[in-house]
Amino acid sequence: MSIEIIDVSKKFDTYEALNNINLSIQPGELTALLGPSGSGKTTLLRIIAGLESADTGGILFDGIDITESSVRSRGIGFVFQHYALFKHMNVFENVAFGLRVKPKKERLSEGEIRHKVEELLNLVQLKFHAKSYPHELSGGQKQRIALVRALAVEPKVLLLDEPFGALDAKVRKELRAWLRRLHDETGVTSLFVTHDQEEALEVADKIVVMNRAKIEQEGTPEEVYAHPASPFVYSFLGEVNLFHGRHPSQEEGVKTITYVRPHDVDIYTEFHENTIPATIIGLRVIGGTVRVELQEIDGHGVEAHISSSRKDQLGLSVGLKCFLAYRNQKHFEKNEFYKDYSI
Amino acid sequence: MSYGGYKETRIIRWSIFISAFIFIGFMVILPLTTVFYFALKNGFTVYIQALTRPESISSIQLTLLVGATALTLNTIFGIAIAWAVSKFDFAYKRLLVALIDLPFTVSPVIAGMVFILLFGSDGFLGEWCINHDIKIVFSTTGIVLATTFVTLPFVARSLISLMTTQGREEEEAAVTLGADFMTTFWKVTLPSVKWALLYGMVLCFARAIGDFGAVSVVAGSMKSVTIEIFELYNEYLSSEAFALASVLTFVALVALGIKKSIEKFHSENGGKNEY
């Protein structure tokens, strides 16, 4: 099912949560709403679900206006950050809930419900926990139950609010991959909210970057990463080095900011053309990558990420004088920068 | 580091311990035993006779009726108030929550008098009541109203704090799964607070049957158990008075037992379920 969001704005008292949002989501896509906390992404998700109402604007599902429709008639599945499992029901009853509360004429028979729930529990490998209560499960197990509970009613849209936010790093990684597989199998249009750029880049077909109640950029993970539309997107999607006033064809009076990702910094031990002299002031080895802290000759700090084999090859050590070359530099005008960062 | 290592702290500890025990013994245990001692002083037959007097029986009936009605009213309104306060946002919410506690701070005598001033023959609504042939003051209705007022906070209080910490997510989840308003309430909201509800109900009932202050003002010639005890005692019929008192005390002890076992059960099972 396609989702169309048209001119949606929302204020909480004086706080502006969403400012004229327009967005369309194609059927079967897995979309990430990415942004820092307070950027409005969760509010947008809740408005799509009907748990919150927009002040202005509307939502279309498959071209049909559902702005005024109740939550239960929208045919959505919602997954909460803190699972929101029914604590007084066991796992089986949690998953069966949506099937049991259907109107009598749509409701499956008890046997069919049983069969369906067992099938879903098999899917998440929690068959043997059917009789367990939520407090007996780990965070990862709870979230898997919450997911199949939402899927049990066969929603046309699956909405996930920071689904892995409360889990530890390892479980989060596993569940991410699992969500991606699940999405590929079921093909249900899905939208998930996250503040973790790695998660968005890894899982989503499409990323919508939000900041301060507005959409900054939307596109495939490759697009937004390689061609960020604003300094905000650039710095939010990965680590950066930034330099003031280094645009090669700098016009008079226009101040610029130049961004370079740490993995786009090349280190040489001998002078090359267009390189800048610098000194290594710190080395940290993290697995196969080495984070090199450097200081340019004018005192400006730079971080470079290189492979540990490259480090050994160059024989880098703290205090060594070397030369830096910057690839894929991205220039923004300075007033764009302040628009984003002055508060 | 432990506190027990020093002689002085040990002495202080023991003196606090002993004074607490003496205090509880003197203020609670001694009066309690006295009730049962005087009730049974003249033998078991006299005790049974005292309880089976028609006046005793009718007072027990009245008190049970009043207690059950006040409990029912306060359970229904307590759930409604707690639900409104914890699951929805509206203007003057904090004022409403503050007002719920008023019956705890106002003297029961005043609570009774308020209803006389409202519904008595000279009261604001008194004439209207007489014209419509509605009798509130000096009737069961009046006693129920006064008792309901006095016991109003118990159910609402015990639910509000729990329901507020539980938040709205489970209800939201239920609605996204297709449950309607009432289904969400019966299948999600209510079961998740059942122990707190029962706890509040036990306290409410125990307080309702034991009230004297408010009831004595509005009862007129009607006699609840507490009024009956008071009058018997004033007429120097102490074994009858203490026999009835022992019934109230017994009910109070049962209520305490239920309350304790709910707390225990809740901390062993329900407590873990909360998060």
Q: Which structural domain, as residue segments, surrounds residue B235?
A: 43-268
pLDDT for the residue B139? 85
Residue A248 is predicted with a pLDDT of: 63
Query: Does A249 have pLDDT greater than 80?
Result: no
In DSSP terms, which residues pair with A210 in a beta bridge? A215
Comparing CB atoms, the residue among A51, A98, A134 nearest residue B177 is: A98
Looking at the fold, whether B228 and B128 belong to one and the same domain comes out as yes
- Same-domain status, B163 and B188: yes
DSSP-derived pairing of the beta strands A214-219 and A64-65 = unpaired
Q: Whole-model pTM?
A: 0.80
- Residue B255 counted as domain residue: yes
Average pLDDT over residues B107-128: 83
pLDDT for B267: 67
**Residue spans of alpha helices (H) in chain A:** 41-49, 91-100, 110-123, 139-152, 169-186, 197-203, 221-226, 231-236, 308-314, 334-341
Count of structural domains within chain B: 2
Looking at the predicted structure, is the pLDDT value of residue A5 above 90? yes
Percent of chain B past pLDDT 70, that is, above it, reads 94
Give the distance from CA A36 to its chain's centroid. 10
Q: List chain B residues with CB under 8 Å of A135.
A: 272-273, 275
Beta strands in chain A (DSSP E): 3-12, 15-25, 30-34, 56-61, 64-65, 76-79, 157-161, 189-194, 206-211, 214-219, 241-244, 256-260, 265-268, 276-286, 289-296, 301-307, 321-326, 330-333
How many Å is the maximal CA-CA distance in chain B? 77
> Which neighbouring-strand residues pair with A323?
A268, A277
CA distance B74 to chain A (A): 25
**Is residue A24 helix, strand or coil?**
strand
Chain A residue with the nearest C-alpha to that of B271 = A135
Query: Sheet holding A256-260: strands in order across?
Result: A241-244, A256-260, A330-333
Give dist(CA B160, CA A47) in Å, integer: 27
Q: How far is A316 from chain B (nearest CA, A)?
A: 51
B47 and B133 housed in the same domain: yes
Digit-coded pLDDT (tens) for A29-60: 999 999 999 899 999 999 999 999 999 999 99
Q: Are residues B98 and B29 in the same domain?
A: no
Which amino acid, one-letter code, is at B266?
H
- Minimum-distance CB partner of B178 among A84, A86, A153: A153
Chain A residues within 8 A of B180 when measuring between CB atoms: 72, 101
Up-side HSE of residue A305: CA atoms within 13 Å toward CB? 13
Closest residue on chain A to B195 (Cα): A88
Residues facing A215 on adjacent strands? A210
Do B174 and B103 share a structural domain?
Answer: yes
Q: A43, A70, A72, A74: which to substitute to probe chain B, counting the most B Cβ within 10 Å? A: A72
Q: Tens digit of pLDDT for each residue in A124-137?
A: 888 999 999 999 99
pLDDT tens, residue by residue, A140-198:
999 999 999 999 999 999 999 999 888 888 888 888 998 899 899 889 999 999 999 98
* Inter-chain residue contact A97 with B174, CB threshold 8 Å: yes
Residue that the structure tokens 């009956």 belong to:
B228
Q: Number of helices and strands (H, E) in chain B?
A: 18, 0
CA distance B155 to B201: 6
Identity of the residue in A84, A88, A133 whose CB atom sits nearest the CB atom of B173: A84
Q: Taking an 8 Å Cβ-Cβ cutoff, which residues of chain B contact chain A?
A: 169-170, 172-180, 183, 187-188, 191-192, 194, 272-275
Taking an 8 Å cut-off on Cβ atoms, the answer to whether A101 and B178 are in contact is: yes
B14-33: pLDDT as tens digits: 999 999 999 999 998 999 89
DSSP-derived letter for residue B211 is -
Q: Answer yes or no: is B274 within a domain.
A: no
Per-residue pLDDT reduced to its tens digit, A65-112: 999 999 999 999 999 999 999 999 999 999 999 999 999 898 999 999
Both B59 and B13 in one domain: the answer is no
Token couple for B143: 């006693």
Residues B2 and B85 in one domain: no
- Decide if B1 is inside a domain: yes
Residue B76 within a domain: yes
> Are B2 and B126 contained in the same domain?
no
Please tell me which residue of chain A has the smallest CA distance to B186: A101
- Does B129 or A32 have the greater pLDDT score? A32
Give the distance from CA A104 to its chain's centroid.
Answer: 39
Residues B27 and B112 in one domain: no
- The residue count of chain A comes to 343
Co-location of B18 and B114 in the same domain: no
Residues B74 and B113 in one domain: yes
Task: Say if B275 falls within a structural domain.
Answer: no
Q: Considering the domain boundaries, does residue B115 fall inside one?
A: yes
Q: Give, for B114, the enclosing helix (H) or strand (E).
A: helix B108-119
CATH at residue B121: 1.10.3720.10
Sign of the dihedral through C-alpha A213, A217, A219, A221: negative
Contact A72 B179 (CB under 8 A): yes
Nearest to A77 among B172, B176, B275 (CB): B176
Indicate whether B106 and B60 sit together in one domain: yes
Asked whether the beta carbons of A322 and A312 are under 8 A apart, the reply is: no
pLDDT (average), residues A323-335: 84
- Angstrom distance (rounded) from CA A281 to CA A318: 5
Let me know if residue B159 belongs to a domain.
Answer: yes
Q: Is the pLDDT of residue B188 over 50?
A: yes
Count of C-beta atoms within a 10 Å radius of residue A110: 11
A14 touches A65 (CB < 8 A): no
Tell me, yes or no, whether B273 lies in a domain: no
Determine the distance in angstroms separating the CA of A47 from the nearest CA of chain B, rounded to an integer. Answer: 12
Query: ipTM of this predicted complex?
Result: 0.83
Cβ atoms of residues A308 and A285 within 8 Å: yes
**Digit-coded pLDDT (tens) for B73-85:** 999 999 999 999 9
